[in-house]
Amino acid sequence: MPDVMVAARASEASGSKTQQVDVAVVGAGFAGLYLLHRLRKAGFTTVALDEAGDVGGTWYWNRYPGARCDIQTIDYSYTFDPELEGAWKWSEKYATQPEILRYLGFVADRYDLRRDIRFHTKVTAATWDQVAERWQLTTDHGATISCRYYIMATGCLSSPKPPEIDGVKDFKGKVYFTGRWPHEELKFVGKRVAVIGTGSSAIQSIPLIAEQAAHLTVFQRTPNFALPAHNGPAPAERATLLESDRAGYREQARWSLAGVPLPQQTVVSWQLSDAERRERFEQAWAAGDLVFMLTQLWADQGVDVDGNALLAELFREKIRSIVKDPETAAALTPYDHPFGSKRPCLDTNYYATYNRPNVTLVNLRQEPIASITASGIKTDKRSFDIDVIVFATGFDAMTGAIKAVHPITGRGGKSLTDVWADGPQTYLGLTVAGFPNLFLVTGPGSPSVLSNMAVSIEQHVDWVVDRLIAIQAAGFTAIEATETAQTGWARHMADCSTLTLHRLANTWYTGANVPGKPQGVMPYTGGVGPYRSICNEVVGGGMLGFRLTGPNGAEQCNDGEIVRLQPDVRLVLNMLAEMNLPPIESLGAQGARDFVAEFNKSRPAGRPVGEIVDGTLPLTDGSLPYRLYRPAAPGPHPIAVYFHGGGWVLGDEQSDDPLCRDICRRAEMIVVSVGYRHAPEHRFPTAAEDGYAATRWIAEHAAKLGGRPGPVAVAGWSAGANIAAVTCQLARDRGGPEIAGQLLVCPVTDCAFDRPSYGDNAAGYFLTRPLMFWFWDIYCSPADRTDPRVSPLRGQLAGLPPAFVVTCEFDPLRDEGVAYAEALAAAGVPVEQLQARGHFHSSFAMVDVVITGVSGRARMAEALRRFAGLPQKTAQSGESIPQGRQASSPELNAAAK
């Protein structure tokens, strides 16, 4: 019997009945309300349940003084109905809690939602009935519920964290929690008030409480960065932008990184002078916009510790300039996390409040709370007499409200609490393997709290409801994520978390604020737009990673992982695909060179090194240009001779500039990039012979170049790695120079094209099979191709210098690189391999674009240092990121700065 026929509306159902619906929604906040609206419109019978007494969710519970949104309200609104947008006008840039609550009430009225919401009703258990293929929900009030689909819109920040301090129940004064604030107005006049915590809620409420209280004592464990909101009317220029093209404005937000329509910053910190950086910072400070401050100053502020430190220090200066007492200022100044890795706050007079005579800051790092007594709070140094304690201790974020519904029992009696014992596992943050027909809105594994949640909520709701409609139309009754898809998502999440600095902080994003909670970055850090495109790809791929089942054994399962590329590689490849570029091999050699030169202009500038010197080195029949990169530290430094990529046809001594700078900085070695001659003007074996001759000259003139005399290392990428490998063989066979080691990044090593990687990665990863054929054809006639000077895999390998061989998963050259490393090892050459998962041929050359390549590049630099006999650099805590499989040697804990 179809669900719709057994459904009965039972908002006022008695406790003994079971309410039958197609879909049950828990939560009547931003998410629950929109769900109800969409589900109803789609014809599903639906009930929403909320523990609260009315709609609003977050905005129903968080009524503390100063509670406001911290995303501009113009952006923190529903966008699904332009008429709704037209019917509501926000009064302020950042609306207050009462206004947001009124807005959500207005939405509930407009779409007549309350009639399907059961308030004051907490869901206490949810059990999947495999036979009926329905969820059975138990509540603490009224009828139980039987539903086909169970959607938890329970909120990321709706489960307040209980205080971890002894003696709260002994306290004789009043106790309040910011996340469960009373509905009546509280008066603090004449009271001695304590606020415990300095997160967002505390930072918003402290200035207002201080204005009333006889004395306010703030107990701070971790200082936070707070930016003045400069609240007032919605900025006219933003409003004009919205009014002039509402649809375009909203669409830009949907595809942005944070759910707010701001462009992606492309200028990196080292391209700006101190004065320019300060100017940008001051502008952001004056703008009072958190997302602006978090994303618009310079491109590396959120992904690189150095870029971030520049911003954090400007912030700290501000705190010191506002807070008069140096000791208090020092205590309020954060040093334990990069800016933005913990949610910064928006404030009104927060820091200045500490200049008031009736406010005291207690630094719990120096004097922890020992206990709460009947009359106040005792630290291990002093006692404070207190009338009112306000706990602003935050939430058991992201998983708290989901796990609080105990037990959620899925297929085979599996409990969600057990399944998540080591941390939440989801597919897309929306579903959990083993829990059919269960959906989480803004669950762990989705952008959620790292985004404008209004945008994320709408995307989730639309995706889920559209899927339910499609599933029903196709005659399926159950949908469940596969284990493969879920494991793949966990891997993608981990890859994404290496992109940002969130992993370097202990915060509620990582579960660190709740004792005993498993640690890990819970929200998806890959961005709102990329996440949206992934969800769309799941659908486009035939519900990739989901098993759909229905009556009479109907089943569809297109199993697999949705993202196997590193997240930034995926972005780069998508961007290239969107550019619809002609195949390079169709441009002719000169056209291709012009194209590459043009393309290189758009890449971020390389980081500064001590010195860059251009020169020429002599050959018997002419000369070759070179570019020398010298480290900033005093020398003499060992030398690495570098050969650029470009298929023996493209590029020059400057074309791998960012990688050369990176090697120079990390390895602290001189890098001499050689402009060897190219085909078709100079075919095989010119490039190989140039490489060898250049290496010999550089080795012989090491001291003149300011380098350390002695063996040099050779390094190269792609065809350049081919030249480096060949140079090692020639140097061994021709009596020198002595080579300390070879770093081969995605090398060409053989003229055979039948290895699987040539087929697997024939198209779609920039270096294509046809492009490689074109390079080979231009450089080398078929008769010469087995010559070891172009196919070093076919040469003698014994007696070669130690090697570090890097291969990338999505590269036609992958397997010949692996084959070379294995052959070297078999010949007794010390060799290490880095098989970089999720990377493509250009990953390691795209320094500061492919940020997930950082740890790989750090390992390469360490390898060069070992070749040169330099001591290993010490790792920076938390900065080492395993990059792929290693064929030998223990994990290098290399600095990934």
201 vs 727 by CB, closer to ligand FAD: 201
Cβ of residue 280: shortest distance to ligand FAD, in angstroms?
23
Helices (H), 652-806: 657-667, 686-700, 719-733, 756-760, 769-779
155 touching ligand FAD, by CB under 6 A: yes
**Rg, C-alpha atoms of the chain:** 31
76 vs 339 by CB, closer to ligand FAD: 76
Cβ of residue 69: shortest distance to ligand FAD, in angstroms?
3
Cβ of residue 148: shortest distance to ligand FAD, in angstroms?
19
Q: Name which position in 36, 49, 674, 772 contacts ligand FAD (CB under 6 A).
A: 49
Q: What is the DSSP letter of 96?
A: B
Report CA 217 to chain centroid distance, whole Å.
37
294 vs 369 by CB, closer to ligand FAD: 294
Cβ of residue 436: shortest distance to ligand FAD, in angstroms?
20
Cα–Cα distances (Å) from 828 to 374, 405, 595, 798, 834, in that order, read: 75, 60, 42, 6, 18
* The pair of three-digit structure tokens given for residue 172, joined into one six-digit string: 């004789």
Q: Name which position in 201, 205, 472, 722 contacts ligand FAD (CB under 6 A).
A: 201
Q: Measured over all CA atoms, what is the biggest interatomic distance in the chain, rounded to whole angstroms?
A: 98
62 touching ligand FAD, by CB under 6 A: yes
Sequence-distant (6+) residues with CB within 8 A of 786 are 751, 794
Pairing type for strands 639-643 and 438-440 reads unpaired
77 vs 880 by CB, closer to ligand FAD: 77
104 vs 834 by CB, closer to ligand FAD: 104
Cβ of residue 37: shortest distance to ligand FAD, in angstroms?
13
393 vs 718 by CB, closer to ligand FAD: 393
Window contacting ligand FAD (CB under 6 A); options: 65-73, 242-250, 536-544, 875-883: 65-73
Cβ of residue 95: shortest distance to ligand FAD, in angstroms?
9
695 touching ligand FAD, by CB under 6 A: no
* The pair of three-digit structure tokens given for residue 266, joined into one six-digit string: 């492309």
Question: What number of helices (H) and strands (E) belong to the chain?
Answer: 27, 30
Burial level of 595, CB count in 10 A (0-12/13-18/19+)?
Answer: middle
Sequence-distant (6+) residues with CB within 8 A of 102 are none
Site for ligand FAD in 68-127 (CB under 6 A): 69-71, 76, 122-123
Cβ of residue 523: shortest distance to ligand FAD, in angstroms?
12
Q: Which residues, in sequence order, are bridge partners of residue 226? A: 345
Cβ of residue 405: shortest distance to ligand FAD, in angstroms?
4
Q: Which residues, in sequence order, are bridge partners of residue 135? A: 128, 147
32 vs 801 by CB, closer to ligand FAD: 32
Using CB under 6 A, count the residues that bind ligand FAD.
38
Burial level of 552, CB count in 10 A (0-12/13-18/19+)?
Answer: exposed
61 vs 810 by CB, closer to ligand FAD: 61
Cβ of residue 131: shortest distance to ligand FAD, in angstroms?
25
403 vs 665 by CB, closer to ligand FAD: 403
290 vs 628 by CB, closer to ligand FAD: 290
463 touching ligand FAD, by CB under 6 A: no
Among 665, 645, 699, residue whose Cα is nearest residue 865: 665
103 vs 684 by CB, closer to ligand FAD: 103
Task: Give me the count of residues in the chain.
Answer: 897
d(CA 669, CA 632): 10
Window contacting ligand FAD (CB under 6 A); options: 66-74, 487-495, 579-587, 753-761: 66-74
181 vs 775 by CB, closer to ligand FAD: 181
d(CA 534, CA 529): 9
Asked if 338 and 305 count as a contact pair (C-beta separation under 8 A), the reply is yes
Cβ of residue 418: shortest distance to ligand FAD, in angstroms?
18
Cβ of residue 262: shortest distance to ligand FAD, in angstroms?
15
234 touching ligand FAD, by CB under 6 A: no
Which residue has 């294509």 as its token pair? 768
Cβ of residue 149: shortest distance to ligand FAD, in angstroms?
16
Among 728, 749, 742, residue whose Cα is nearest residue 819: 749
First and final C-alpha spacing in the chain: 61
d(CA 688, CA 685): 5
Site for ligand FAD in 8-37 (CB under 6 A): 26-32
153 touching ligand FAD, by CB under 6 A: yes
Identify the sign of the CA torsion 150, 255, 229, 339. Answer: positive
Amino acid letter, residue 788:
P
Window contacting ligand FAD (CB under 6 A); options: 48-56, 239-247, 314-322, 884-892: 48-56
450 vs 624 by CB, closer to ligand FAD: 450
Window contacting ligand FAD (CB under 6 A); options: 51-59, 270-278, 298-306, 515-523: 51-59
Window contacting ligand FAD (CB under 6 A); options: 54-62, 279-287, 537-545, 816-824: 54-62
Q: What is the DSSP letter of 378?
A: E
Asked if 821 and 747 count as a contact pair (C-beta separation under 8 A), the reply is no
Interaction mask 351-380, ligand FAD, x per CB under 6 A: ------------------------------
- φ/ψ of 299, rounded to 5, equals -65, -25
DSSP-assigned letters across all residues of 410-426: -GGG-BHHHHTTTS---
Cβ of residue 323: shortest distance to ligand FAD, in angstroms?
24
Cβ of residue 151: shortest distance to ligand FAD, in angstroms?
11
51 vs 652 by CB, closer to ligand FAD: 51
154 touching ligand FAD, by CB under 6 A: yes
Window contacting ligand FAD (CB under 6 A); options: 149-157, 382-390, 709-717, 862-870: 149-157
Report CA 429 to chain centroid distance, whole Å.
14
Beta strands in 313-426 (DSSP E): 345-347, 359-363, 369-372, 376-379, 383-385, 388-391, 408-409
* The pair of three-digit structure tokens given for residue 34, joined into one six-digit string: 């929109």
Sequence-distant (6+) residues with CB within 8 A of 398 are 156, 424, 443, 444, 448, 449, 511, 522, 523
48 vs 861 by CB, closer to ligand FAD: 48
Q: Name which position in 19, 57, 206, 396 contacts ligand FAD (CB under 6 A).
A: 57
Site for ligand FAD in 414-453 (CB under 6 A): 441-442, 452-453
Report CA 437 to chain centroid distance, whole Å.
28
449 vs 485 by CB, closer to ligand FAD: 449
Cβ of residue 476: shortest distance to ligand FAD, in angstroms?
27
Q: Name which position in 145, 361, 430, 457 contacts ligand FAD (CB under 6 A).
A: 457
Asked if 718 and 745 count as a contact pair (C-beta separation under 8 A), the reply is yes
405 touching ligand FAD, by CB under 6 A: yes
d(CA 102, CA 624): 73
Among 636, 750, 626, 781, residue whose Cα is nearest residue 693: 626
DSSP-assigned letters across all residues of 587-634: SHHHHHHHHHHHHHHTSPPPPP-SEEEEEEEEETTEEEEEEEEE-SS-
Q: Name which position in 58, 205, 513, 807 contacts ligand FAD (CB under 6 A).
A: 58
Cβ of residue 198: shortest distance to ligand FAD, in angstroms?
14
Binding site for ligand FAD (CB under 6 A): 26-32, 49-52, 57-58, 60, 62, 67, 69-71, 76, 122-123, 153-158, 201, 401, 404-405, 441-442, 452-454, 457
